[in-house]
């Protein structure tokens, strides 16, 4: 199983994580291995979406796992483990962002929030035409939309109320904001599509 495979169906990853966690808590050490391999790529994306650099992100992912192992008995329902991990990782990421001298984690200007340049030599990735078009369209969105869409995209079942709290946005505003950002994205897609 490759990491990319596990990311294909987010919902089933959630269930796999819950099952592995339950087995681990029941005393099967190998199940922790599975859990780590399934969830680490997801945590990476959750953390990177907050704007941390790669090195900090690796540290935060590790911290989230340490927190889980040390507090496994507080998770409760095993099916909640994926959300527990994502929330813990995201919180830790915001904390690291703030400690790095940024007054608030929501200030777009103060975060290292930028789209990696596809043209840069280190990102030798091959995007399909559709993905290139999506990429280009995302790049035309306001930064706040880019950031929010990335955050909510990376977690299969995001907890909007929590994310609202962490982004210091009003509770209940994430869903509608996501909808508006997606509408803007569709508009951009239509524009770029029509131009071809």
Q: Which of 53, 54, 171, 172 binds other proteins (CB under 8 A)?
A: 54
44 binds other proteins (CB under 8 A): yes
User: Considering only 33-41, 81-89, 99-107, 159-167, which stretch makes contact with other proteins by CB under 8 A?
Assistant: 33-41
C-alpha of 188 from chain center: 23
159 binds other proteins (CB under 8 A): no
Handedness of CA 88, 90, 91, 95 (dihedral sign): positive
Closest CA to 75 of 67, 166, 60, 33: 67
Closest CA to 135 of 121, 113, 122, 150: 150
Cite the DSSP H helix spans in the chain: 3-6, 10-25, 30-48, 54-70, 81-99, 129-139, 143-154, 160-167, 174-194
Whole-angstrom Cα distance, residue 64 to residue 91?
9
46 binds other proteins (CB under 8 A): no
What DSSP designation does 156 have? S
Q: Which is nearer to other proteins, 104 or 186 (CB)?
A: 186
The interface mask with other proteins, positions 119-158, x = CB under 8 A, is ----x-x-x-xxx-xxx--x----------xx-xxx----
164 binds other proteins (CB under 8 A): no
- Footprint on this chain of other proteins (rule: CB under 8 A): 3-4, 7, 10, 24-27, 29, 32-33, 36-37, 40-41, 44-45, 48-49, 54, 58, 61-62, 65-66, 69-70, 72-73, 116, 118, 123, 125, 127, 129-131, 133-135, 138, 149-150, 152-154, 178-179, 182, 185-186, 189-190, 193, 196
């Amino acid at each position: 199983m490759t990491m990319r495979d596990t990311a294909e169906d987010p919902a089933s990853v959630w269930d796999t994580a819950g099952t592995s966690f339950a087995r681990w808590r029941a005393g099967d050490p190998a199940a922790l291995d599975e859990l780590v391999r399934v969830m680490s790529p997801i945590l990476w994306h959750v953390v990177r979406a907050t704007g941390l650099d790669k090195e900090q992100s690796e540290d935060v992912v590790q911290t989230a796992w340490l927190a889980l192992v040390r507090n496994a008995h507080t998770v409760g329902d095993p099916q909640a483990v994926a959300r527990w991990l994502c929330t813990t990782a995201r919180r830790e990421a915001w904390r690291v962002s703030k400690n790095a001298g940024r007054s608030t984690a929501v200030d777009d200007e103060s975060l290292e929030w930028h789209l990696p340049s596809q043209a840069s030599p280190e990102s030798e990735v091959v995007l399909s035409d559709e993905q290139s078009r999506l990429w280009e369209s995302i790049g035309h969105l306001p930064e706040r939309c880019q950031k929010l869409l990335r955050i909510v995209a990376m977690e299969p079942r995001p907890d909007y109320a929590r994310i609202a709290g962490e982004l210091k946005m009003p509770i209940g505003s994430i869903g509608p904001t996501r909808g508006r950002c997606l509408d803007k994205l569709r508009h951009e897609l239509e524009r770029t599509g029509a131009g071809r």
